[in-house]
Amino acid sequence: MMTNVISIRVNKRLEELIKNLAVETQLDQSDALREVMNNGIVFIAIKGYAEGKYSVEKAAAMAGMPLSEFMDLTTSLGIRSKIDLDDVLAGSDNLKSQVGK
């Protein structure tokens, strides 16, 4: 896989955290940092979705995952949709009005 170089400056605390993670995960520091970046992006997407900031498809795209996989991931983490009973009941009325009995 083709890779690009991105240079970033980190403070002492972050450097220490990356070193600790590298030791803990038995990865070299570059791989540990890549792991942090990958998981960090997924975390930001999940958090935004859980707070109702992003739609589920937008959050999945941000995480770089197919929607179905992202839905499986959020539910496996115990995150429920922010949809309320009121929302579903209003939708139920819409459905009834069009489909009827």
Binder among 22, 46, 63, 71 for other proteins (CB under 8 A): 71
Residue 29: other Cβ atoms inside 10 A: 13
Per 3-state DSSP, the chain is made up of helix, strand and coil in percentages (nearest 5) of 70, 0, 30
The encoded tokens of residue 35 equal: 């792991």
The encoded tokens of residue 59 equal: 């959050």
Between residues 13 and 80, which has the closer beta carbon with respect to other proteins? 80
Between residues 24 and 84, which has the closer beta carbon with respect to other proteins? 84
- 87 contacts other proteins (rule: CB under 8 A): yes
Helix (H) or strand (E) holding 99: helix 85-99
Q: Smallest distance, Å, CB 65 to other proteins?
A: 8
* Binding residues for other proteins (CB under 8 A): 52-58, 60-61, 66-69, 71, 75-76, 78, 80-85, 87-92, 94-99, 101
